[in-house]
Amino acid sequence: MGQHSSTQLPPEFLGLADSGGGGGSAPDGTLGARLGITFVEATPERVVGTMPVEGNTQPYGLLHGGASAAFAETLGTVGAMLHAAPAKIALGVDLNATHHRGVGSGTITGVATPIHLGRSAATYDIAISDEQGRRVCTARLTCVLRPAPGSQEDTSG
């Protein structure tokens, strides 16, 4: 595991959690930003985001399965981060995704809801749909919750 420079959640996530909605983009310099992920709602109980298909396709012009998986992991990890913060950080340890249909254009929407919110792990179900509401991908993510660097639980220092 690498070193973490900050235990603070990005303001984009904190603002969404405090307001119960709103909107915000993934922080600059992250894969989420590169994929064009926008957060519509973010609480530990529900994370909703969107992602454009354009720019996230495979050579056949369809949404890349890896982009769907990264989208799902981003949504689930945000929920786990909000559940665990500020004393703990969330790290994805298991992701599975089933791709149901291809999408060639438009925007997809993902909704992450918790299956389990514990002290040491959080698991989310993520449903990704196209603009017509058809299921594109179903994913499940489990994050381990580790003590945040500098927290009272942190024994690394």
User: Known catalytic residue: 73?
Assistant: yes
Return d(Cα 88, Cα 76) in angstroms, integer: 15
Return d(Cα 112, Cα 115) in angstroms, integer: 9
Return d(Cα 107, Cα 96) in angstroms, integer: 22
Provide the CA 94 distance to its chain's centre, in angstroms: 13
The two tokens of residue 51 are 């992602």
End-to-end CA distance of the chain: 15
Return d(Cα 152, Cα 144) in angstroms, integer: 18
Q: Annotated catalytic residue: which of 12, 41, 45, 73?
A: 73
Sheet holding 24-25, edge to edge: 24-25, 38-43, 46-52, 107-117, 121-129, 135-147, 88-99
The residues that are catalytic are 73
